[in-house]
Amino acid sequence: MARRPRILMMVVTLLIVAAACSSGNGGGGSTGPGGTGTGQQGGTFKFPLSADPTKLIPQNDYEAAGAQVFNAIFTRLMTYDADTNAPVPAQAKSVTSDDQMVWTIEIQPGWTFHNGEPVTAQSYVDAWNWGALGSNGAILNFFFEKIQGYDELNPAKGDATTTELSGLKVVNDTTFTVTLTAPFSQFPIELGFDAFDPLPKAFFDDPDAYNEKPIGDGPYMLTEWKHDENIVLERYPDYQGTPGYADRIELPIYSSTDASWADFQAGNLDISSVGSSNLVDAQQNYSDSLTEQPSSLFLYLGLPLYDPRFQNKELRQALSLAVDRQAVMNAVLVAETPADAFTAPVVPGYQAGSCTYCTYDPALAKQKLADAGGWQGTMTINLYSNDATLEQAMEAIGNQWKQNLGIDFELNVMNYNSYYDTTINHKFTGPWWDGWVMDYPSLEDYLRPIYGSTGGYNGSGYKNPAFDSLLTQGDEADSIDASIAKYQQAADIVAEDMPVIPWGFLPSRYVHQPTVTNVHQAGPLNNLELADIQVVQ
Amino acid sequence: MSRRYLVRRILIAFPVLIGTTLLIYAMAFALPGDPIRRLAGMHVISESTHREITQRYHLDDPFVVQYYEYLKGIAHGDLGETFTGQDVSSIVVERFPVTLKLTLGAFAVEIVLGLIAAFVAALRRATFIDSFVLVSTLVLITIPVFVLAFLAQLMIGVKLKWLPVAGVQHGWLGYVLPWLVLGVGSAAAVGRIARSNLLDNLNSEQIKAATARGLPRRRVLGAHVLKNALVPIVTILGLDLAALMGGAPVTETIFNLPGLGQMLILGVRTENGPIVVGLVTLAAMIFIFTNLFVDLLCAYIDPRIRYG
C-alpha cells in the first residue's frame, strides 16, 4: 500500500464511507488505499482460494492462490497507483537511478516482519541472493538474471563458487544498491512483483518450517494454514503502512469453482470471483455487486513464423481480419472482450485500437490473402484439452476462416505439458491458442517475452532487429514516460508484422454479499486487494 | 480355515500389485511434455533451476532405473515426491482420513438402506411396497453420481440450507450430504440383489422344512434365510467398498472434501505424474486387499468355498 499524507487518507476514507452508504455498492475499484482507524476497521470476511498454494515462499511460487496470499502478507517495495497503475513506492521510500543501471533503493525505517524482526536492506539482499542461487531450485530464479553476478550463481556446469550476487550492496540498514548488467528503466515497476519480497532470518534457519507458516512484512499475518482446507490471516498490529480494514480474513480452499460458487450462493462466502461458467448466473442474481475490471490476461492465437507457409505477413493479417471476435464471444467465450492491441488494457501506455488488423473485415482479408498468394492445404488449429468451450471457440474460428477465406481446417487437441514444450521448441504446424499474463504492469513485460527475439515466450519465432532495438531504447530511456513512448513505437511494428493474432481480454469479475464493501482488484494485478475490503458492521 | 487357501490368496495379490504399478507408472512416464517447465507458468525456467529439480527427482534416469527407485520407495512406505516438492506419502496421510470417513459413511448408508429395502420388499413380495422399492431403486441406479450430487447440493445446501454445501469446516455435518449422495446408488443396487437372494432362500426347500418343523419365524429368518443369503451380499458389499472409493473423486470434488479422490482429479488435471501414480497405486492396493478380505470372509461364512 502506498503511504500517503494522513489528511488525504482521511478524505479518501470518508469518500469510501459515503459511497458505501449511498449506493450500498462499494465495488468499482477506483478507490484508494484504506484509512487508519476510522471505526470502519474490524470484522471477518471469507474469500475462497481456487487451490491450495503450492508453496508460500515468494521466490519459489508461481500460481494464483499463492499470489493472493502474498498480496496480504507482504508489502512489496513498490506498488501501483489505483487509478493509473503507475508504480509508487510502498515499503520502499525511494527507488532511484541516474543511468538506469545502478539503482539505489531506500526503504522505510522501523518496519518489522510478523515475528518482530526488523525489515532491513539485508532482508532484501538475503532474499534475492537465495532466489538467485541456482542450487536452491527456486522457481522464480530467472527474475534475478538482470542483476550483476547472476551468471556466477548459475554456472552452466558444476557448483557455484559464490552465494552472493556481486550486484547487490548493502549501504546501511535502510539502503542498498542494485547493479544491473544493462540499463533497465522498468526496474522500479518490476519491484512490485513478489519475487523481490524480503525474507526474515527465520526463513534461512528453516525454509521448510517457514513454508508452512510464512512470515511477511505485510498488513496481515498468516496465523493458520490447514492444507486444502483453510488459511487464516489476522491484521498485523505493528504494521507501519496503511493498515487493513478487516480484523481477520479467512481464505477457505476449494478445488473446483463450482463448489465455491455453490457455497457463495448459500451465503457461506462473502466474496467470489466470477468465472465464465457462472457469469450468466452472476449477472442475473448478483448484478448489484458484480464488479468488472480489466485484467492483465492477453489472449492470442500464436502463428508459427518458422513455418515457410506463415512467413508472409499479409497472410497473417488476412487471418486476423477474417475472424469476427465479437461473434465468437457472443456465442461461446461469453466472458471475454475482443482484443484491440498487443498488450492487455491494464498497462500504462496501452493504446486502444493499436492493432489495426484486429477489426473484422472479410473483404480486406480476402484481398490480403490474394496478395499473399493464397493458402494451400489444411490449416491445423491447436488447443489444449479439458475445455469443451475452447474447442467450440476454435471450431468457430476455423469455420470463419473457411467461410471468409476458403481455408480448410482441422483441430488438434493436445495435453498441456506437451503443449508448452511445443510452443517453446517451435514445433507447431498451425495457429495455436495461447495467452500471457504479465508479472509487472509494463508494456515491456508483454512485448519482450512474446515478440522479442530473445523473449522467453516467443513461440512464433518472430525476429525483427528494428523492434528489438526499440525495446532496448525503451530500457535505456531516462524516465518511465520516455520508455513508454519507445515501447509504443515497438508495438506499432508488431501491429504491422502480426506475429500473433490478438484475440481477447478477460476482465476480472467479482461479486460479494452485502456483508462487505470496497471489493476490488489489486491495481493491475489479477488478485483481490484484501486489505481494502471492509466488513459492514 | 485352511492355511493353504490363505497363503494362496495372499500370494496372488503380489503379482497383481506389481502389474498395476508398472502399468500406471509406464503410462505416466510416457506422457509427453516436461512437467518442470510448467512450474513457472508461461515463463522459461532458468537452466540452473531446471537442472537442480531434474536431479532432485531423478528425471534424467532411464525408465527402468526410475521404476526401480520407485518400487524401492514403496517398499519403505514412500510414494515419492511431486515436482513441487510435496511428499506424496504425507499427502496421503493428510487426506486419507477424509476419504475413509466419506467411504465408510456411504458404506453404512448402503448397508442400512440397502438391506432394509431388501427385507421389506422380500417379505412383502408383490405388494405396492415391493413395486415401490423395485422402481425407486431402478431410478437411483440410473442417475449418475454427479447429477445427484449437484442436485442435492443445490436443493438441500443452497436453497433449503439444511446441510452445509461444501467443505469440512462444519465437522461431520459436512459429510452427511456426500454420504447420502455416494451411498444411495449402491444401496439401490445392493437392495435389488439382496431382495432376489432373500426371495430365493425364502422359497427354498430347507426353509420350508424349517418352517414346517415349527421353528419360530424370527429364527427361520435370522439363522437360516439370512445366513444363506449372506455370501453373495458380502461379496457385493466388499466389491462395492472399493467401488465407493472409485466414486469418491467426483463426490469429493463437488463437495470440496480434501480427500484422495479430489487430489487424484487435481493430479490428472495438472498432469502431475507422481500424484497420479502414487494414488492409483494406493487405490490398487486397497482394492486388492479388500478383495482378499472379502474372499477370506466368504470362506469363513461358507466352508464349501475354502475347499472349492
Which residue numbers in chain A have pLDDT < 50?
1-37, 39
B47 Cα to chain A: minimum distance (Å): 8
Touching B: A residues 366-405, CB under 8 Å: 386
**The three cell numbers locating residue B305:** 468355498
CB-CB under 8 Å, B258 with A436 = no
When CB atoms are compared, the residue of A136, A153, A436 closest to B42 is A436
> Are residues A329 and A472 both part of a single domain?
yes
Please report residues of A whose CB lies closer than 8 A to that of B253. 255-256, 259
User: What CA–CA distance (Å, rounded) separates A283 from A261?
Assistant: 14
- pLDDT value for A486: 96
CB-CB under 8 Å, A457 with B154 = no
> Are residues A175 and A317 both part of a single domain?
no
> Are residues A466 and A385 both part of a single domain?
yes
> Are residues A402 and A512 both part of a single domain?
no
Give the model confidence (pLDDT) of B239-266 as tens digits.
787 777 777 888 888 888 888 888 888 8
- pLDDT value for A386: 65
How many residue pairs from chains A and B have C-beta atoms closer than 8 A?
Answer: 144
The verdict on residue A89 lying in a domain is yes
B263 Cα to chain A: minimum distance (Å): 9
- pLDDT value for A33: 43
- pLDDT value for A26: 32
> Are residues A227 and A320 both part of a single domain?
no
Touching B: A residues 267-326, CB under 8 Å: 267-268
Please report residues of B whose CB lies closer than 8 A to that of A263. 165-167, 256
A81 Cα to chain B: minimum distance (Å): 26
Say yes or no: A424 contacts chain B, CB-CB below 8 A: yes
Give the model confidence (pLDDT) of B202-227 as tens digits.
888 888 888 888 888 888 877 777 77
- pLDDT value for A419: 85
When CB atoms are compared, the residue of B35, B158, B168 closest to A262 is B158
Say yes or no: A254 contacts chain B, CB-CB below 8 A: yes
CB-CB under 8 Å, A254 with B166 = yes
CB-CB under 8 Å, B32 with A417 = yes
CB atoms < 10 A from the CB of A265, how many?
Answer: 22
Contacts of residue A391, Cβ cutoff 8 Å, sequence gap at least 6: A383, A411, A413
Is residue A414 a contact partner of residue A293, using CB atoms and an 8 Å limit?
no
CB-CB under 8 Å, A417 with B153 = no
When CB atoms are compared, the residue of A145, A418, A449 closest to B32 is A418
B109 Cα to chain A: minimum distance (Å): 23
When CB atoms are compared, the residue of B48, B165, B262 closest to A255 is B262
- Among chain A residues, the shortest Cα distance to B86 is held by A54
Touching B: A residues 193-232, CB under 8 Å: 227-230
- The one-letter code for the residue type at A206 is D
Secondary structure (3-state) at A516: strand
The verdict on residue A272 lying in a domain is no
Q: Phi then psi for A235, rounded to 5 degrees?
A: -65, 135
Give the model confidence (pLDDT) of B8-22 as tens digits.
877 887 888 888 888
Please report residues of B whose CB lies closer than 8 A to that of A258. 150, 254
Q: What is the value of ipTM here, to two decimals?
A: 0.79
pLDDT band, very low/low/confident/very high, at B163 (cuts 50, 70, 90): confident
Give the model confidence (pLDDT) of A293-328 as tens digits.
999 999 999 999 999 999 999 999 999 999 999 999
Name which of A49, A133, A157, A229 to mutate to probe chain B: the one with the most chain B Cβ atoms within 10 A of its Cβ. Answer: A229
CB atoms < 10 A from the CB of B20, how many?
Answer: 17
- Among chain A residues, the shortest Cα distance to B156 is held by A266
Is residue A93 a contact partner of residue A107, using CB atoms and an 8 Å limit?
yes
B252 Cα to chain A: minimum distance (Å): 9
CB-CB under 8 Å, A258 with B254 = yes
CB-CB under 8 Å, B255 with A228 = no
Q: Phi then psi for A177, rounded to 5 degrees?
A: -115, 150
- Among chain B residues, the shortest Cα distance to A159 is held by B48
A437 Cα to chain B: minimum distance (Å): 8
Say yes or no: A139 contacts chain B, CB-CB below 8 A: yes
Say yes or no: A156 contacts chain B, CB-CB below 8 A: yes
The verdict on residue A3 lying in a domain is no
- pLDDT value for A5: 39
Please report residues of B whose CB lies closer than 8 A to that of A267. 161
User: What CA–CA distance (Å, rounded) separates B153 from A185?
Assistant: 53
Is residue A124 a contact partner of residue A107, using CB atoms and an 8 Å limit?
yes
CB-CB under 8 Å, B47 with A228 = no
> Are residues A501 and A531 both part of a single domain?
no
**A406: alpha, beta or left? (left if phi > 0; alpha if psi -120 to 50):** left
> Are residues A223 and A314 both part of a single domain?
no
- Looking at residue A478, which CATH number applies to its domain? 3.10.105.10
- pLDDT value for A8: 38
- The one-letter code for the residue type at B201 is N
The verdict on residue A267 lying in a domain is no
When CB atoms are compared, the residue of B37, B40, B255 closest to A259 is B255
CB-CB under 8 Å, B40 with A62 = yes
CB-CB under 8 Å, A421 with B40 = no
Say yes or no: A456 contacts chain B, CB-CB below 8 A: yes
When CB atoms are compared, the residue of B37, B86, B165 closest to A268 is B165
User: What CA–CA distance (Å, rounded) separates B240 from A49?
Assistant: 34
The verdict on residue A255 lying in a domain is yes
When CB atoms are compared, the residue of A54, A137, A263 closest to B52 is A137
> Are residues A249 and A362 both part of a single domain?
no
Reduced 3-state DSSP string for chain B? CCHHHHHHHHHHHHHHHHHHHHHHHHHHHHCCCCCHHHHHCCCCCCHHHHHHHHHHCCCCCCHHHHHHHHHHHHHCCCCCECCCCCEHHHHHHHHHHHHHHHHHHHHHHHHHHHHHHHHHHHHCCCCHHHHHHHHHHHHHHHCCHHHHHHHHHHHHHHHCCCCCCCCCCCCCHHHHHHHHHHHHHHHHHHHHHHHHHHHHHHCCHHHHHHHHCCCCHHHHHHHHHHHHHHHHHHHHHHHHHHHHHHHHHHHHHHCCCCCHHHHHHHHHHCCCHHHHHHHHHHHHHHHHHHHHHHHHHHHHHCHHHHCC
Burial of B214: CB neighbours in 10 Å, binned 0-12, 13-18, 19+ = exposed
CB-CB under 8 Å, A421 with B265 = no
CB-CB under 8 Å, B34 with A154 = no
Is residue A140 a contact partner of residue A59, using CB atoms and an 8 Å limit?
yes
CB-CB under 8 Å, A418 with B33 = yes
- Among chain A residues, the shortest Cα distance to B57 is held by A137
User: What CA–CA distance (Å, rounded) separates A15 from B30?
Assistant: 59
The verdict on residue A392 lying in a domain is yes
Domain count, chain A: 2
CB-CB under 8 Å, A266 with B44 = no
The verdict on residue A439 lying in a domain is yes
- Among chain B residues, the shortest Cα distance to A228 is held by B258
> Are residues A46 and A190 both part of a single domain?
yes
- pLDDT value for B2: 65
pLDDT band, very low/low/confident/very high, at B77 (cuts 50, 70, 90): confident
A300 Cα to chain B: minimum distance (Å): 14
CB-CB under 8 Å, B157 with A266 = yes
> Are residues A483 and A522 both part of a single domain?
no
Residue of B162, B182, B166 whose CA lies nearest to B174: B166
> Are residues A160 and A308 both part of a single domain?
no
When CB atoms are compared, the residue of B49, B56, B168 closest to A229 is B168
User: What CA–CA distance (Å, rounded) separates B26 from A103?
Assistant: 51
Burial of B176: CB neighbours in 10 Å, binned 0-12, 13-18, 19+ = middle
- pLDDT value for A198: 97
> Percentage of chain B surpassing pLDDT 70?
96
> Are residues A108 and A35 both part of a single domain?
yes
The verdict on residue A1 lying in a domain is no
Distance of CA A308 to the CA centre of its chain: 34
Contacts of residue A475, Cβ cutoff 8 Å, sequence gap at least 6: A100, A182, A183, A184, A185, A186, A444, A483
pLDDT band, very low/low/confident/very high, at B308 (cuts 50, 70, 90): low
- Looking at residue A199, which CATH number applies to its domain? 3.40.190.10
Note down the domain range covering A190: 8-260+508-535
